[in-house]
Amino acid sequence: MPKVIFLPHEDICPEGMEVEVAEGANLLESALEAGVDIDHACGGVGACTTCHVIVEEGFDSLNESSEQEDDMLDKAWGVTMNSRLSCQCRVGKENLTIEIPKYTLNHAKEEL
- 8 A C-beta contact, residue 28 and residue 50: no
Angle, vertex CA 77, rays to CA 55 and CA 86, nearest 5: 40
Can you tell me the distance from the alpha carbon of 60 to that of 65, in angstroms, rounded to the nearest whole number? 11
pLDDT in tens, 7-30: 999 999 999 999 999 999 999 999
The kind and range of the H/E element at 72 are helix 67-73
Mean pLDDT, range 96-105, rounded to an integer: 88
- The C-alpha atoms of residue 12 and residue 49 are separated, in whole angstroms, by 16
Rg of the chain in Å (alpha carbons): 13
User: How many CB atoms within 10 Å of residue 100?
Assistant: 23
Could you report the per-residue pLDDT of 24-78, keeping only the tens digit for each?
999 999 999 999 999 999 999 999 999 999 999 999 999 999 999 999 999 998 9
The whole-angstrom separation of Cα 97 and Cα 112 is 30
With 0.85 as the threshold, say if the pTM is over it: yes
Query: What CATH number is given for 3-99 in this structure?
Result: 3.10.20.30
pLDDT band at 83; cut points 50, 70, 90: very high
Q: Where are the domains of the chain?
A: 3-99
Tally Cβ neighbours within 10 Å of residue 42: 17
